[in-house]
Homo-oligomer: A and B are copies of this chain.
């Protein structure tokens, strides 16, 4: 647990430089009816190239003490806030420098070696990714393909062609099984299904909440990462945005690890949510066959 961050870190944000690659913002309003502890995951992960950022929280317009920042896996940061009654506003803005050279992690690890504990964990079934229950279907559908990358790419393609992106089609309790059977879902469902099928095929896979420049309508987005040839590759079965512009927020087993706001105690209701994510210049075009590493 990291203690409160120095005020300066948040207090000033330089004027956006012309070459700042990406800018993301997030504005939330809550009605807090009973003093509440809320865990936020909306700040860009430390693994991103943060040029400047700012987080403001206020109740009825009066600034609150800075939230406590906890370190999550893969550079993720979680902000814990104790909010009094009233209208809570949370405003986050970050500017990121475009990465210049892509150096995927873990290249040195020869493929096929024994897995690390981290990779083992991402082989296990989780709340919304019950991979243990779909091994039969996964093997029947993809087992004839060579292990690893070919199966993952076939999984992404399969989801893209068979699952319809329908806003409002899934419920918060739904798992990847619902998505698989009903053939409908939103971004988190696409990610869950990809993770579930990968794990059932013995490929470690994890969930990533991201800012997604180009997403329409704009909102938080979710993708998944699969462990292939000694590195984590990013996949998005919705194919709605270029993967190379994504900005990582939180990483975990599934959406249970990456909620943008989690009310731990008390009563707080989300009134509004506005997300933006922009990139300087034109959005890149995504090449579905390219390897993309998410910082």
Name A residues whose Cβ lies closer than 8 Å to a Cβ of B.
Answer: 1, 37, 39, 68, 70-72, 78, 80, 82, 114-117, 120-121, 123-127, 129-130, 132-137, 139-140, 162-164, 171-173, 177-178, 180-184, 202, 253, 256-257, 264-265
Contact A139/B183 with A120-B70, A132-B173 known, Cβ cut-off 8 Å: yes
Q: Is the CB of A180 within 8 A of B132?
A: no
Write out the residue numbers on chain B whose beta carbons fall within 8 Å of the beta carbon of A136: 162-164, 181-184
Interface of A (DSSP majority class): mixed
Measured CB to CB, the nearest residue on chain B to A172 is B132
Q: How far is the CA of A163 from the CA of B82 in the complex (A)?
A: 30
* A117 interface neighbour in B1, B121, B123, B129, Cβ under 8 Å: B1
Question: Does B180 lie within 8 Å of A257, measured CB to CB?
Answer: no
Residues of B within 8 A of A256 (CB): 124-126, 132
CB distance from A260 to the nearest CB of B (A): 14
Chain B hits for A135, CB < 8 A? 182-183
The minimal Cβ–Cβ distance linking A271 to chain B, given in whole angstroms, is: 17
User: Are B257's CB and A124's CB within 8 A?
Assistant: yes
Contact across chains for A264 and B70 when beta carbons are under 8 A apart: no
A-B pairs with the 9 shortest C-beta distances? Answer: A136-B183, A140-B162, A125-B127, A124-B256, A70-B117, A136-B182, A134-B181, A1-B116, A171-B171
Q: What residues of chain B lie closer than 8 Å to A183, measured between beta carbons?
A: 135-137, 139-140
**A136 CA to B193 CA, complexed, in Å:** 14
Given the known A-B contacts A115-B264, A124-B127, are A134 and B1 also in contact in the complex, defined by CB atoms under 8 Å? Answer: no
